[in-house]
Amino acid sequence: MPADIRSTASEELRLRNYRTQLEQRNQMEIRELEQKHSEDLQRTLEQQAAQLDELKEAYDVQISREAETLEDRLHRVRLQNDERVEEEKRNGEAQVSKLKSANQNRIAEYKKQSEAQLETLRKQHQATAESLHDQARKSARKAERELRSQGT
């Protein structure tokens, strides 16, 4: 019986360690996604800044009509960059949400399994205790009968 308890305790510890590892792994993946998103955003901002500088230089050199054309182009690029940033952000958030949901489901399942195992162990312990109690009562009755029979 103690081996079963130790086995259950070690299994529970193993499951806790596994859950902790999963949480750490997921946190690391989230940080990596956030870092990648940040780097992409920084790169996009740098590209946008570089394009703006190009446009300013061209405006100084060229006639105003060409400058208007470049401003229109800059606007389109900005819109595209904004769309890309928003798309990346949505994709990143969706991935984070999926990971969180999957991890919550895994944790819930592990918890459910652990609770079921604990309940099984409780029932086994209770049945064993009742069995031992019944045996003790029978032994006590038997001893009492033997004492009575010896007394007569």
Instruction: Render pLDDT for 62-90 as a digit per residue (tens, 0 to 9).
Output: 667 777 887 899 999 999 999 999 999 99
Average pLDDT over residues 42-55: 91
Instruction: Quote the pLDDT of residue 145.
Output: 87
Domain ranges of the chain: 2-116
Average pLDDT over residues 118-147: 91
Banded model confidence at residue 58, pLDDT cuts 50, 70, 90? low
Instruction: Quote the pLDDT of residue 23.
Output: 93
Instruction: Quote the pLDDT of residue 146.
Output: 85
What does the mean pLDDT of the chain come to? Answer: 89
Report which of residues 66 and 16 the model is more confident about: 16
Average pLDDT over residues 40-52: 93
Residue 34 has pLDDT above 60, yes or no: yes
Q: Which of 75, 69, 32, 68 is nearest to 51 (CA)?
A: 75
Instruction: Quote the pLDDT of residue 54.
Output: 84
Residue 104 has pLDDT above 70, yes or no: yes
CB 55 within 8 A of CB 74: yes
